[in-house]
Amino acid sequence: MTATAASPVQRRARLAALIAANQVWSQQELAAMLRKREGIVVTQATLSRDLTELGVVKGPNGYMLPGAAPAPAGGDRDAALANALRQHLVSAARGGTTVVLRTPSGHANSLAVEIDRAGLPGVLGTIAGDDTIFIAARDTEAATVLARTLERLGRQGA
């Protein structure tokens, strides 16, 4: 896919996914990742506009999406997840093998990133919208345990 074949929305979605899943330190590095992994070729000017449009900021751990906490330095993923849950989780509910999390508007992506980073057992994947996250669990038992765990972590220290 070339820059002309990828719509700005598609390109920005891929950029957000790459930033969420990787430590990226420069626009050059990000452009190379887009080209190699996604087949999308962009100019520096287009990439810069896309990053601005996404609200991406550069912090001590590289580029970050808006509202995303920096990745934990010591690998303390559990603490980072608990912190993100305390900041962003409004409610958690289970339906079959799906756990649905509600957040304030604009906070779902930040929390989903931390859930993905945590590598929780039984989690097959997440989908984040503006204020809702769908988590696919391995089975109903895993979904029940996951919903309870996330609610408990979100209440700790509150």
Beta strands in the chain (DSSP E): 57-59, 62-64, 91-95, 98-102, 123-128, 132-137
Match domain 8-64 to its CATH number in 3.90.550.10, 3.40.605.10, 1.10.10.10, 3.40.50.300: 1.10.10.10
Q: Can you give the pTM of this predicted structure?
A: 0.55
Q: 93-119 pLDDT, tens per residue? A: 999 999 999 999 888 888 888 888 888
Task: Decide: helix, strand or coil at residue 58.
Answer: strand
Say if 8-64 and 77-155 have the same CATH topology: no
Task: Delimit the domains of the chain by residue range.
Answer: 8-64, 77-155
What's domain 77-155's architecture?
Answer: 2-Layer Sandwich (3.30)
Percent share of the chain, pLDDT over 90: 39
Question: Rounded CA gap, 83 and 156, in Å?
Answer: 9
- Contacts by 121-130 with C-beta closer than 8 Å and gap 24+? 122/146, 130/105, 130/106
pLDDT band with cut points at 50, 70 and 90 for residue 124: very high
Tell me the pLDDT band of 21, cut-offs 50, 70 and 90.
confident
